[in-house]
Amino acid sequence: MTFPITPRNIVAALVVAGLLLLPLYSQLTGNIFILTLFTRIVIFALAASSLNLIMGYGGMMSFGHAAYLGIGGYAVGILAFEGIGSGFIQWPVALAVSALFALVIGALSLRTRGVYFIMITLAFAQMAYYIVSGMSRYGGDDGLTIYKRSNFGGLINLSNRVQFYYLCLGCLFGGLYLIWRIINSRFGLVVQGVRSNEQRMQAIGFHANRYRLVCFVIAGTICGLSGALLANNTDFVSPAVMYWTRSGDLMVMVILGGMGSLFGPVIGAIVYLVLEELLSQFTEYWAMIMGPLLLLIVLFARGGIMGLLGRLRLG
Amino acid sequence: MVDSLADPLLRVEKLVRRFGGITATDNLSLDVMSGELHAIIGPNGAGKTTLISQLTGQLAPNSGTIHFAGRDVTRQPAYRRSRLGLARSFQITSLLPDFSAIDNVAIAAQAHDGHSFRFWGNARKEIHLRDAARSALTRVGLEARADVPVSELSHGEQRELELAVALATKPQLLLLDEPMAGLGVTESARMVALLKELRREVTIVLVEHDMEAVFALADRITVLVYGRVIACDVPDAIRNNEEVKRAYLGDQHVVVAHV
């Protein structure tokens, strides 16, 4: 594989380097807050990347993607609550339940297209939201505190800030590598072909929905992993993580960074969450600034930030 | 090439398709013999594209049957008919606009080369798919444009690419819906020359308005009017058919004059 020196790749490389060196900076300056913030950013970057797989490459505008954050998180939280603290059980369960949920939701939603697809994925995610809100044994509306983070034996200590950060970063890079392999594989080309012209793909012999569904399940499973990470990060999981506004946040990150660009959602997550952090220090109405900003991106930079960078020329 | 003793490759019987009050396909029966080039002509609105769409499975008939290579495919979805060897080109160019020319063709070859639930290997590095795509591009004269995105190809090139995509699926039967639509004189001539070559290898159903091309190419011609077959015969007989002349009214002169 070759990476030509383009503005996009330079920015991506700088961001990767920055993310790798961040704990060092945090240690040297004693700025613990920045490590906490970026742990969260990295987790959301993984979730947004998984959404990008179906939204950007598959053309499926899922408005219920945060459901998997909650499902992954609750799998960890509920198992911990019931006394099963091993991550070797919690995490596979989180992934499996997310995959199963995606399979059912996908099989039903993918009968529809366009706005109907957006609405039906939203409806299912809201349904999941109300179901967990009603689980009084696990805190209902108030959420569930996780007293002990997932236990991976002597392998890794999730309570250590730096170790946990690198675990999240490893998951992000692993996820991106997986997505990169997928989008260039036979499967990935079919999914992108279906996004581009479904009728044509059927006419040359592809059962389009089968490929869409598998793609939908892969994305849900990856997002379930983000959910497991997020629950460990906050030591807490509540229905709020799967509320529709969270799904909206994920969509915004993808669009902001650049739909259908591998690294776009990472940039999107960084810009969105850093801006949120900075702006909310000045005003609680930070969304008033974020809104118009997003509007500008959608109107004038259709490929998001990565799209803008792609149009820049060096020298 | 017409062999009345052999079973037809494609047999359409009593096909009916209505849109509201309009019967676009009206009790239509049609046989296409293996090896022939069968043209379908008719005035605008005769239901030609509706027929093609039912043959490929994009549109379901209200009644009637379609047999392809001895199988009843009436209820089979489009992707399965493609796997049986039925390929189409679209009247209005329908390609993958975000893909390069060669990717458009390679993915068609991929559809007919094992399954595509392969998630890891780089599909653009599968030599046999790229070779198959390149040879289909060469057939239609687009080999030099392989890496150009579809959106940057000219209209004529896109029409040729449509054909390359269909060829890459290794079809037994090629359904071409107005392949000359919108082509200039030289481009049309190239397309006719190309079809003359292809007809030796594959059975073709050709829907076309360009009468000169139709009469130059077809073994048999079926004439549709208001969704019904009013004539089906060899070109010479069609040219002298009174009912066809009446149906075309002014157009009859076009039919006669050009041939």
Question: For A11-54, how does the pLDDT look when each residue is reduced to its tens digit (9 = 90+)?
Answer: 999 999 999 999 999 999 999 999 999 999 999 999 999 999 99
- What residues of chain B, 106 to 125, have a C-beta less than 8 Å from chain A? 107-108, 110-112, 116-124
From chain A, the residues in CB contact with B78 under 8 A are 202-203
C-alpha separations of A191 from A87, A185, B1, B221 in Å = 33, 10, 41, 39
Contact A202 B78 (CB under 8 A): yes
Q: Supply the ipTM of this predicted assembly.
A: 0.90
Best mutation target, A186, A197, A202, A209, to test chain B (most B CBs within 10 A): A186
* pLDDT score, position A314: 56
> Closest partner residue to A202 among B79, B117, B122, by Cβ?
B79
Look at A107-111, A305-309, B140-144 and tell me which has the smallest mean pLDDT.
A305-309
Closest approach of B169 to chain A, Cα-based (Å): 7
User: What is the overall mean pLDDT for chain A?
Assistant: 95
Contact A181 B119 (CB under 8 A): yes
Best mutation target, B53, B96, B163, to test chain A (most A CBs within 10 A): B96
What is the mean predicted confidence (pLDDT) over B149-166? 95
CA–CA dist B116, B83 (Å, integer): 13
- pLDDT tens, residue by residue, A198-214: 999 999 999 999 999 99
With an 8 Å Cβ cutoff, is A79 touching chain B? no
Contact A203 B116 (CB under 8 A): no
Q: What percent of chain B has pLDDT over 70?
A: 93
* pLDDT score, position A289: 85
With an 8 Å Cβ cutoff, is B58 touching chain A? yes
* pLDDT score, position B259: 42
In this prediction, residue A313 has a pLDDT band, given cuts at 50, 70 and 90, of: low
From chain B, the residues in CB contact with A203 under 8 A are 56, 58, 78-79, 82, 87-88, 90, 94
Geometric angle at alpha carbon A7, from A6 and A9, rounded to 5°: 65
**CATH number for the A7-311 domain, one of 1.10.3470, 2.60.120, 3.30.460, 3.30.70?**
1.10.3470
In this prediction, residue A1 has a pLDDT band, given cuts at 50, 70 and 90, of: low
In this prediction, residue B1 has a pLDDT band, given cuts at 50, 70 and 90, of: very low
Q: What three-state secondary structure class fits A120?
A: helix
Whether the per-residue pLDDT at B3 is higher than 50: the answer is no
Q: Which residue of A has its CA nearest to B90?
A: A200
From chain A, the residues in CB contact with B95 under 8 A are 197, 200
CB atoms inside a 10 Å sphere around CB B69:
16
* 3 state SS for chain B: CCCCCCCCCEEEEEEEEEECCEEEEEEEEEEECCCCEEEEECCCCCCHHHHHHHHHCCCCCCEEEEEECCEECCCCCHHHHHHHCEEEECCCCCCCCCCEHHHHHHHHHHHCCCCCCCCCCCHHHCHHHHHHHHHHHHHCCCHHHCCCEHHHCCHHHHHHHHHHHHHHCCCCEEEEECCCCCCCHHHHHHHHHHHHHHCCCCEEEEECCCHHHHHHHCCEEEEEECCEEEEEECHHHHHCCHHHHHHHCCHHHHHHHHC
From chain A, the residues in CB contact with B108 under 8 A are 204-205
> Closest partner residue to A197 among B82, B96, B103, by Cβ?
B96
- What residues of chain A, 166 to 195, have a C-beta less than 8 Å from chain B? 181-182, 184-190, 192-193, 195
**HSE-up of A235 (CA within 13 Å, CB side)?**
7
What is the mean predicted confidence (pLDDT) over A228-257? 96
- pLDDT tens, residue by residue, B162-171: 999 999 999 9
User: What is the overall mean pLDDT for chain B?
Assistant: 91
Whether the per-residue pLDDT at A69 is higher than 90: the answer is yes
Which residue, chain included where needed, has tokens 């959106």? B151
Return the axis-axis angle of helices A264-282 and A32-52, rounded to nearest 10°: 130
Contact B169 A182 (CB under 8 A): no
Whether the per-residue pLDDT at A310 is higher than 90: the answer is no
With an 8 Å Cβ cutoff, is A42 touching chain B? no
Whether the per-residue pLDDT at B258 is higher than 60: the answer is no
What is the mean predicted confidence (pLDDT) over A213-237? 98
Contact B107 A193 (CB under 8 A): yes
Q: For residue A94, which of A190, A226, A291 has the smallest C-alpha distance?
A: A226
Whether the per-residue pLDDT at B100 is higher than 80: the answer is yes
Domain boundaries defined on chain A: 7-311
Whether the per-residue pLDDT at B4 is higher than 50: the answer is no
* pLDDT score, position A297: 84
Q: What percent of chain A has pLDDT over 70?
A: 98
Domain annotation for chain B: domains and CATH numbers: 1-85+172-259 (3.40.50.300), 94-170 (no CATH)
What is the mean predicted confidence (pLDDT) over B105-131? 96
* pLDDT score, position A295: 87
> Closest partner residue to A193 among B79, B96, B117, by Cβ?
B96
Whether the per-residue pLDDT at B47 is higher than 70: the answer is yes
